[in-house]
Chains A and B, each alone.
Chain A
Amino acid sequence: MALSPTPTITVYLPGPLRAYSGGATQLVIPARTVRAALAHLEQSQAALYRNICDETGAVRRHLNIFVNADNMRDLSGVDTPLAAGDEVTIVPAVSGG
Chain B
Amino acid sequence: MADRVMLTIGTKKGVFVADAAKPRRSFALCGPFGPGVPVYSTLIDVRRTPRLYASSCNPFFGMKILRSTNMGKSFAETKSAPAFPKDDGRALVNIWSLETGNDKRELWCGVEPASLFRSRDGGDSWEMVPGISNHEHARKWQPGNGGLCMHTIIRDGNRVHLGISTGGHYLSEDGGQTFTAANQGVGAGFSPDPYPEFGQCVHKIARHDDAPGRLYMQNHGGWADWSGPGGPRPDIGVLRSDDYGRSWRSIAKGLPSDFGFPIVVHPHDADTVYVMPLEPATRTCPGGAPAVWRSENGGDSWTRLARGLPKKQTYFTVLRDAMDVDQLKTPALYFGTTTGQLWIGREGGERWECLFDSLPLIHNVKVAVV
**Chain B residue, CB-CB nearest to A56:** B91
Q: How distant is B202 from chain A, measured CB to nearest CB, in Å?
A: 26
* Chain A residues with CB below 8 A from B61, complex form: 16-17, 51-52, 60, 63, 92
Point out which of B84, B89, B91, B92 has the most chain A C-beta atoms below 10 A from its C-beta: B91
Q: How large is the interface on B (under 10, 10 to 19, 20 to 34, 35 or more residues)?
A: 10 to 19
A51 with B62: CB separation less than 8 A: yes
* Chain A residues with CB below 8 A from B90, complex form: 55-56
Classify the secondary structure of B's interface with A.
loop
Q: Residue B146 at the A interface, CB < 8 A?
A: no
Instruction: Give the A interface residue count (CB, 8 A).
Output: 18
B62 with A56: CB separation less than 8 A: no
Per the bound structure, the CA–CA distance linking A58 and B92 in Å amounts to 12
Q: Residue B139 at the A interface, CB < 8 A?
A: no
Q: Which residue numbers of B lie inside 8 Å of A, CB to CB?
A: 59-62, 83-86, 88-92
Q: How distant is B222 from chain A, measured CB to nearest CB, in Å?
A: 27
- The listed residue (A55, A57, A58, A92) touching B60 by CB distance below 8 A is A92
B83 with A55: CB separation less than 8 A: yes
Interface string of A26-48 (1 = CB under 8 A from B): 00000000000000000000000
A56 with B59: CB separation less than 8 A: no
A56 with B60: CB separation less than 8 A: no
Q: Residue A93 at the B interface, CB < 8 A?
A: yes
A57 with B62: CB separation less than 8 A: no
B92 with A55: CB separation less than 8 A: yes
Q: Residue A70 at the B interface, CB < 8 A?
A: no
Q: Residue A5 at the B interface, CB < 8 A?
A: no
Q: Residue A79 at the B interface, CB < 8 A?
A: no
Q: Residue A22 at the B interface, CB < 8 A?
A: no
Beyond A54-B92, A55-B92, whether A62 also contacts B86 by CB under 8 A is no
* Chain A residues with CB below 8 A from B89, complex form: 56
Q: How distant is B168 from chain A, measured CB to nearest CB, in Å?
A: 26
